[in-house]
């Protein structure tokens, strides 16, 4: 009897426990169901934030560039229409004829004078151009001869066309008296410096019109630009090479009273003119 009562009590206690566990399970299901939407919203907000951060990290897309025609293209307008079919069949124009090079003196048709020309070149030891220049100068400066000269060391060399009979001026101004500057005057067109421009230096004083040029190496003045004739040259006759001077006539010029001497002299101021 006691055993049956105890077993019945045990069954009753087991039923109570199972009922309590079932109630707790039933009460936990609504809580889980209620927490599910909040978890979904959390995941959505996280994914939205991630997509926004990725969008911010991407560089802004470049705007499409619009092609604009240049002002020149707008001015020129559309290209020229193609030529008519009959013009397209015509042959292209011929290329321009190249200019014919000028013949040198050695290629000229000298005829029977070629032998004389070559003999003249050999005797004078000149090129064709040099021989032609000598003959032309002789024709142009009729009655004149070509003098050559230079300084003492040979660094400065020149040639000048003048008469074989020289008219020399002996000036007594302060500088000409000290350096014994005797000279004859020629136009600048008849004088040519052959070499030594880099060896020439110039001294001037007072009005600075006279250009006293001399060799920097040996100090010799073989020519200069006189105040009386700034458009010509004064050549020192004692610096000429031998063989071309026939005679010399010397005239004293009162350079110490230069203005008065220039007024009284009739021809000196025109000696540098052609």
Kindly report each contact of residues 171-179 with a partner whose C-beta sits within 8 Å and lies 24 or more positions away, as own/partner.
171/253, 171/255, 172/252, 172/253, 172/254, 172/255, 172/256, 173/255, 173/256, 173/258, 174/256, 175/205, 175/212, 176/255, 177/256, 179/221
pLDDT tens, position by position, 216-226: 999 999 999 99
Q: What is the mean pLDDT of residues 187-193?
A: 94
Of 196 and 128, more confident = 196
- Strands of the sheet containing 157-162, edge to edge, are 145-150, 157-162, 191-195
Dump pLDDT digits (tens) for 194-222: 999 999 999 999 888 889 999 999 999 99
Report how far residue 1's alpha carbon sits from residue 59's, in angstroms, rounded to the nearest whole number: 89
DSSP secondary structure letters along 104-156: PGGGS--GGGHHHHHHHHHHHT--HHHHHHHHHHHHHTTT-EEEEEE-SSSS-
- In the chain the first and final C-alpha atoms are separated, in Å, by 175
Q: Which residue has the higher pLDDT, 245 or 34?
A: 245
pLDDT at 151: 97
Out of 16-20, 22-26, 260-264, the most confident range is 260-264
Q: How far apart are CA 137 and CA 140, in angstroms?
A: 5
For the ranges 4-8, 83-87, 137-141, 148-152, the one whose mean pLDDT is highest: 148-152
The pTM for the full model equals: 0.53
Q: Report whether CATH 3.40.50.300 matches the domain 143-270.
A: no
For 224-250, the pLDDT digits (tens) are 999 999 989 999 999 999 999 999 999
Every domain of the chain and the residues it spans: 143-270
Tell me which of 2-16, 100-114, 148-162, 220-234 is least confident.
2-16
């Amino acid at each position: 009897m006691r055993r049956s009562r105890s077993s019945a009590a045990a069954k009753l206690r087991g039923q109570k426990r199972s009922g309590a566990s079932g109630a707790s399970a039933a009460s936990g299901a609504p809580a889980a169901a209620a927490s599910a939407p909040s978890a979904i919203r959390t995941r959505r907000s996280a994914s939205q934030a991630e997509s926004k951060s990725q969008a911010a990290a991407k560089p802004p897309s470049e705007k499409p560039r619009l092609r604009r025609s240049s002002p020149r293209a707008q001015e020129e307008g559309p290209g020229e229409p193609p030529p008519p079919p009959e013009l397209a069949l015509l042959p292209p124009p011929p290329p321009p004829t190249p200019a014919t090079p000028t013949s040198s003196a050695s290629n000229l048709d000298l005829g029977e004078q070629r032998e004389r020309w070559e003999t003249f070149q050999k005797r004078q030891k000149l090129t064709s151009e040099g021989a032609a220049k000598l003959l032309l100068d002789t024709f142009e400066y009729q009655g004149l001869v070509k003098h050559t000269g230079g300084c003492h060391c040979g660094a400065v060399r020149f040639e000048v066309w003048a008469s074989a009979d020289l008219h020399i001026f002996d000036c007594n101004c302060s500088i000409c008296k000290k350096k014994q500057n005797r000279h004859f005057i020629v136009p600048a067109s008849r004088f040519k410096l052959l070499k030594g421009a880099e060896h020439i230096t110039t001294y001037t004083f007072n009005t600075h019109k006279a250009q006293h040029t001399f060799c920097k190496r040996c100090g010799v003045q073989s020519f200069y630009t006189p105040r009386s004739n700034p458009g010509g040259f004064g050549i020192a006759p004692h610096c000429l090479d031998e063989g071309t001077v026939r005679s010399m006539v010397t005239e004293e010029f009162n350079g110490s009273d230069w203005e008065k001497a220039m007024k009284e002299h009739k021809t000196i101021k025109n000696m540098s003119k052609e």
